Amino acid sequence: MSKHTLAVLVENSPGVLARVAGLFSRRAYNIDSLAVGPTENPAISRMTIVINVESHSLEQVIRQLDKLVNVIHIAELKPSESVQAELILVKISATSKNRFDVDAVLETYDAVIVDESAETLTIEATGDAAKISDLLNALERFGIRELAQSGLVGIERGSRSLAERTLSVQSIPTAKSGQADYQN
C-alpha cells in the first residue's frame, strides 16, 4: 500500500465531482481524501486526491481518471517536489487550569485559537499530514470534543504551474455530418 497525491484539473461543470467520486467507487480505488475548489481560472476547478494504491497501479488509476471527458489534466505531486497542507478545526476541553499546557502545544505547532468558551477552545491549524497528526496526538490528552478536517491540498514547488502546461487546447472542427468517421 502506498499513498499518492494527485492534482487534478477539471472543467468546472455540474456533476464533475460525482463523476470523479463515482469512478473511484466503482473501480474500487481507495480515496484517503479529496479536496476540491476553484482555481485562478473560473472555468477550471482543482481537485487534490490522496489515494491508497494497493491492488491497482497508480498508472491505471490515472488513465481511468483521464478518460473522464471533464478531466483536463492529472499530475502526481511527489512529496519532495510539492508543498502539501490540510486544515483542521478542533474543539478541545480546556479550563484555566490546563490553559498553560495548551498554549505550549499550540506554539509548537503554529496553531491558533479561533474561538473559546468557558470549558472549550477551538483551535485552527494547517500543515502536512505528519504535522497535523502529531498535533492531534498532542491535543489528545486535553480531550478532543470535535474535529473538522479538510482534505489535503497541494501544489508543485518552483515557478511552473499546471495550468500553463495544459491549457493550450486545440479545437476540433465539427464534421459536416457528425456521423462522418472521425477516426479514419
Partner 1 sequence: MSKKMSGASSLVKSLESAGVDVMFGIPGGAILPAYDPIFDSSIRHILVRHEQGAGHAATGYAQVTGRVGVCIATSGPGATNLVTPLADAAMDSVPMVAITGQVPSNAIGTDAFQEADIRGITMPFTKHNYLITDPDQIPRAIAEAFYIASSGRPGPVLVDIAKDALQKETDFVWPKELSLPGYRPQLEPVNQSILDAAALIAQSSKPVLYVGGGAIKANASKELLQLAELLGVPVVTTLMARGAFPDSHPLHYGMPGMHGTVGAVTALQKSDLLITLGARFDDRVTGKLSTFAVNAKVIHADIDPAEIGKNRFADVPVVGDLKRTIAALIPAVKAEFAKKAPDYSAWNASMNKLRATYPLGYDLPKDGSLSPQYVIERLSAITGPEAIYVAGVGQHQMWASQFVKYENPRTWLNSGGLGTMGYAVPAAMGAKVGAPDTPVWAIDGDGCFQMTNQELVTCALNNIPIKVAIINNESLGMVRQWQTLFYEGRYSNTSLESKRVPDFVKLADAMGCIGLTCDRPEDVDSIIKKANSINDQPVVVDFRVFKDAMVWPMVAAGTSNDDIMIAREMAPDWDSQEL
How many other CB atoms are found less than 10 A from the CB of residue 162?
A: 20
Site residues, partner 1 (CB under 8 A): 10-11, 14-15, 18-19, 22, 26, 57, 59-60, 63-64, 66-73, 166-167, 169, 171-184
Find cell 489528545 and name the residue. Answer: 140
Whether residue 70 contacts residue 11, with contact meaning beta carbons closer than 8 Å, is answered with yes
The distance of closest approach from Cβ of residue 19 to partner 1 in the complex, given in angstroms and rounded to an integer, is 6
The distance of closest approach from Cβ of residue 136 to partner 1 in the complex, given in angstroms and rounded to an integer, is 36
Nearer to partner 1, 62 or 87 (CB): 62
The distance of closest approach from Cβ of residue 118 to partner 1 in the complex, given in angstroms and rounded to an integer, is 42
Nearer to partner 1, 11 or 156 (CB): 11
Output the DSSP codes for 75-134.
EEE-GGGEEEEEEEEEEEE--TTTHHHHHHHHHHHT-EEEEE-SSEEEEEEEE-HHHHHH
Nearer to partner 1, 52 or 57 (CB): 57
Nearer to partner 1, 155 or 163 (CB): 163
